[in-house]
């Protein structure tokens, strides 16, 4: 393509809405999640936190050690984070809940670099995006979950021709072919409609079929599922989410000023440790209780079907290559888990 053509292309679209540019982010090598606890659990049993971090500690160390030494030399950049569930229940306040949480972590020798709120993944996030005079405008609200929903591209089971309702019609996402619904009409059943099993698309001989509920309720007041928000959370940590090219949920600094009495007054992602490595990372590891296993299976099913912008993926790939750090090409392969005993 010669010069005159590129000029033509640029002038053919208004400059305010030209080709989106992708904002670059700083990256750690590893984002290490030290836990994910329901608020109810914390409120009901304060000693639980101590036991939690004590159990996490050795596995967190192992995750760091597993990174080895980067080719570029020096220590790998690792940031730690902790997700508080303020989406499904709000039984306590940040002022009551966060200080003991940080104390318990410190007692086990762990530092929580970043604290995030689960409702930040759902949105709308107040102040999470550049406000616009026109309230109806998309850019007035940051809704990461909605963005991810719109970027879902269902993995087609064999035989999918394009004539099929999209995931957003149903609010469910599967890892394969669902069992066909039975129509109880005698006229049609004469054609031999019998039950057919579902099937996992990537099955090796036998299926582990999973159908994930992404949200429930009417569109206007959708309630996002835990699995879906966790998938959003992973994408945020991997730095793969952009709002029209702009970074989302950038960590807000915290100056040791105490914690507010309302969750909405707390920044979506808070940098508690001023010396922390960047929040976003090439790969993630989450140390979680084993009861999260089904949720995280669902997270993998979702992540496998999220279409991340190629510019964003390309940016991360270039940075990794420059650092000599090997990052898997598939997004779903960039996340890992530890489910320690006793958690």
Partner 1 sequence: MGGLGTPSGPVLACGEVRTRLLPTSDAVDERTAERLLRLRTDERVRLSRHPNRYAVSPGLLTGVDCRPPSVNGASSRVVGTVTARAVLVEGRVLQSSAHFSAPASGPDRRRPWGHYLGRPGCLIPVGRLPARSVAEGFLAGPGPHELDVGSIAESLMARVCRHRILDFDLPLTTVNTSLRWTAVPAVEGEATSVLFTKADDGLRTVALRLPHGTAPAAVAGLCEDLALHDWLLTTVAYALDGLPAGHEDSGLPKVLRSLVDHLLHLWMPRGHVDRTLHAVWEELDEHTGYSRQWNVMGQRIRDQLVLRAVRSRHQPSAWD
Partner 2 sequence: MLVLAASDKGGTGRSVTAANLAYQRSLDGDDVCFLDFDFGSPTASAVFDLPDAVVGADGRGLHSYLQGRTSEPLRIDVWARTEHPALRDRPSGSGRLVLLPGDRTGGEFPFAEADRHRFVDLVLRLRHEFDLLFVDLSAGRSYAADLVLAATSPHGGLGRQGNRWLVFHRWTRQHVMAAAELAYGNAGLVRAGAAMGHRPEVLSGSIRFVRAAAPDLESPPWSQVSPAQYVWLRQCEQVLEELAAARGICKARVLASIPLEPVLQWQERLITDEDVHDHGIAHHETLRAMRDLAQRLTDDEFWGPW
Q: Interface residues with partner 1 (CB under 8 A)?
A: 5, 8, 11-14, 17-18, 20, 138, 143, 146-147, 150-151, 153-163, 165-166, 201-202, 242-244, 304-308, 310, 313, 329-333
Number of residues binding to partner 2, judged by CB under 8 A: 12
> Which of partner 1, partner 2, none does residue 188 bind (CB under 5 to 8 Å by kind)?
partner 2
Sole window of 1-9, 99-107, 157-165, 272-280 interacting with partner 2 (rule: CB under 8 A)? 157-165
Query: Do 227 and 162 touch, CB atoms closer than 8 A?
Result: no
Reduced to 3 states (helix: H, G, I; strand: E, B; else coil), residue 68 is coil
At 121, phi and psi to the nearest 5? -75, -25
Query: Do 34 and 82 touch, CB atoms closer than 8 A?
Result: yes
Sole window of 90-98, 128-136, 158-166, 263-271 interacting with partner 2 (rule: CB under 8 A)? 158-166
Contacts of range 317-320, beta carbons closer than 8 Å, 24 or more positions apart: 319/27, 319/282, 320/282
In angstroms, give the least distance from the CB of 218 to partner 2.
9
DSSP assigned state of 22? P
Strands 172-174 and 211-213: antiparallel
In angstroms, give the least distance from the CB of 165 to partner 2.
5
> Which of partner 2, partner 1, none does residue 220 bind (CB under 5 to 8 Å by kind)?
none
Residue 221 makes CB contacts below 8 A (sequence gap 6+) with none
In angstroms, give the least distance from the CB of 152 to partner 2.
18
Question: Count of alpha carbons within 13 Å of 159, Cβ hemisphere only?
Answer: 6
In angstroms, give the least distance from the CB of 64 to partner 2.
49
**Does the footprint of partner 2 cover residue 183 (CB under 8 A)?**
yes
**Does the footprint of partner 2 cover residue 163 (CB under 8 A)?**
yes
């Amino acid at each position: 393509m010669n010069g005159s053509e590129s000029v033509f292309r640029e002038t053919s679209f208004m400059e305010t809405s030209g080709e989106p540019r992708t904002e670059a982010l700083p990256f750690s090598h590893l984002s290490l999640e030290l836990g994910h606890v329901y608020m109810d659990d914390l409120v009901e049993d304060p000693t639980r936190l101590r036991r939690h971090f004590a159990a996490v500690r050795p596995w967190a160390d192992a995750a760091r050690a597993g990174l080895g030494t980067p080719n570029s030399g020096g220590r790998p950049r690792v940031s730690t984070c902790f997700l508080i569930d303020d989406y499904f229940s709000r039984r306590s306040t940040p002022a009551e809940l966060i200080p003991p949480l940080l104390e318990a972590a410190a007692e086990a020798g762990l530092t929580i670099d970043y604290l995030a709120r689960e409702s930040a993944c759902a949105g709308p996030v107040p102040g999470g995006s550049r406000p616009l005079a026109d309230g109806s405008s998309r850019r007035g609200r940051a809704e990461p979950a909605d963005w991810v929903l719109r970027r879902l591209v269902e993995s087609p089971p064999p035989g999918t021709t394009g004539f099929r309702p999209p995931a957003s019609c149903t609010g469910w996402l599967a890892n394969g072919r669902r069992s066909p619904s039975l129509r109880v009409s005698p006229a049609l059943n004469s054609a031999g409609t019998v039950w057919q099993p579902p099937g996992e698309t990537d099955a090796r001989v036998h299926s582990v079929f999973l159908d994930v509920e992404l949200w429930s309720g009417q569109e206007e007041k959708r309630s996002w599922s835990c699995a879906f928000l966790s998938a959003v959370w992973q994408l945020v940590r991997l730095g793969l989410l952009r709002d029209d090219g702009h970074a989302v949920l950038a960590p807000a600094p915290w100056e040791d000023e105490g914690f507010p009495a309302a969750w909405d007054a707390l920044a979506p992602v808070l940098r508690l440790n001023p010396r922390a490595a960047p929040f976003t990372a090439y790969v993630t590891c989450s140390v979680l209780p084993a009861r999260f296993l089904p949720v995280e299976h669902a997270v993998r099913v979702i992540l496998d079907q999220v279409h991340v912008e190629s510019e964003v993926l390309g940016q991360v790939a270039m940075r990794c290559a420059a650092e000599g750090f090997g990052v898997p090409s598939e997004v779903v392969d960039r996340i890992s888990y530890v489910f320690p005993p006793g958690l």
